[in-house]
Amino acid sequence: MIVLKRVLVLLVICFSLAGCTSLGQKTAKVNDRATKKVENHKPAPLPQKEEEKEEIPQAEPVPYNGPIEHIFFHPLVVYPELAFDGDTMAQGYDEWFVTVSEFNKIVESLYKRNYILIKMSDLFEEKENNGKKELVKRQLMLPAGKKPLILSVDDINYYPYMLQNGNVYKLINNKDGKIASYSKDPEGNEVISEENEIVPLLNSFTETHPDFSLNGAKGILALTGYEGVLGYRTNQPTAEGESEGAKTIIAKLKEEGWEFASHGYGHLATKTISLSTLKRDADRWKKEVEPLTGATNIYIYPFGSSVLPNDPKFKYLETLGFKIFCSVGPNAYLSYTQEYAMMDRVHIDGMALEKQRHIVDRFFDSSLVLDNERFKYKSN
């Protein structure tokens, strides 16, 4: 579908460019022919709308050397009445999640403030040097005035607790061949939607706002493994078809510009667990999850619980091929060597929206973003 669309867009662009070059002396002749044709056959109307959509060619991209912002979300709250209902999970939901409406407003604001999504692979590549893989920082080239933004989504596993608390259940391909979410609403009706989760929402926003994405970039999906991935229970060896389902959707996600990261297998705090536990956990991720996602060099610390490069746990993760380590922090922090990079991410969640507005001010005005639905159920 997408390929077909691209071909169509290309054809439209080629058509209109050809139109531009035929101005001048050639015009009359072309018009004569066209007039003759008009007399006999009423031509189909020109694709005016398609042409209007055509982007004005951007000026040459310029080198960008400023800060690299990285923000992260959790899966979206689709049913606030389940999330903020006063049960034992409600406080966690209020602090760590945003709703669909909040996410949409945040994206609008990011776009208006000239952020542009980039891939981690736009920033770093790995190059072989004397038999050793080195991390090389690439020169980022952006349209003038744009500010780079990496976006990640943690725990997009759809743990069983999420299904009870207002998130969607899984990512699927819908009947139009597009990525959508599947869930059941509080009344038990099945809902397949392109408007209930970050993945389909960003897919469609970047389609209508191509200048919000560099080279088709979307975001990084950070996955654990202990309860499967993306709603597929790949952790249960007996669950037939789950791995195939996960692989199909992952292939599609990659095609659409999504990248993947390890978020540990069991969501353990790297700083506090023992080296042997970390090894067991990381090995299990490599064994169970990597065959689904393919190799990744990005490690996103569960709980933002990070370790330093001289720590044996850090060194062990390096032996597994991880080179880019992401933690949590309020500012755009990035440091790197030829061996590894360390990057902080800003948490975009209820806590930031309600209590730490100053750290998200540069992205959006949280007073305009906050969803009243949060308070509606909380006060009950």
H helices present in 85-237, as ranges: 90-96, 100-112, 120-123, 160-164, 198-208
Give the nearer residue to Zn ion in terms of CB position, either 213 or 235.
235
Give the nearer residue to Zn ion in terms of CB position, either 166 or 302.
302
Give the nearer residue to Zn ion in terms of CB position, either 155 or 227.
155
Q: Which amino acid is at 71?
A: I
**Contact region for Zn ion (CB under 5 A) — 110-118, 296-304, 309-317, 351-359?**
296-304
Classify the C-alpha dihedral 369-122-75-326 as positive or negative.
negative
Q: Is 349 in the site for Zn ion (CB under 5 A)?
A: no
User: b or e along 179-210 (b: 16 or more beta carbons within 10 Å of the residue's beta carbon)?
Assistant: bbbbbeeeeeeebebbebbbbbbbbebbeeee
Q: Is 155 in the site for Zn ion (CB under 5 A)?
A: yes
CB 369 within 8 A of CB 360: no
Minimum distance, C-beta of residue 230 to Zn ion, in the bound complex (Å) = 14
Q: How many residues at the interface with Zn ion, by CB under 5 A?
A: 3
By C-alpha distance, which of 120, 84, 116 is closest to 102?
A: 84
Give the nearer residue to Zn ion in terms of CB position, either 76 or 180.
76
| Token pair for 259 | 């990248």
Minimum distance, C-beta of residue 263 to Zn ion, in the bound complex (Å) = 6
Which parts of 157-196 interact with Zn ion (CB under 5 A)? none
Give the nearer residue to Zn ion in terms of CB position, either 170 or 345.
345
- CA distances, 263 to each of 58, 179, 348 (Å): 37, 22, 17
Classify the C-alpha dihedral 204-57-213-78 as positive or negative.
negative
Q: Is 154 in the site for Zn ion (CB under 5 A)?
A: yes
Binding mask 92-131 for Zn ion (x = CB under 5 A): ----------------------------------------
Give the nearer residue to Zn ion in terms of CB position, either 228 or 302.
302
Q: Which residues bind Zn ion (CB under 5 A)?
A: 154-155, 302
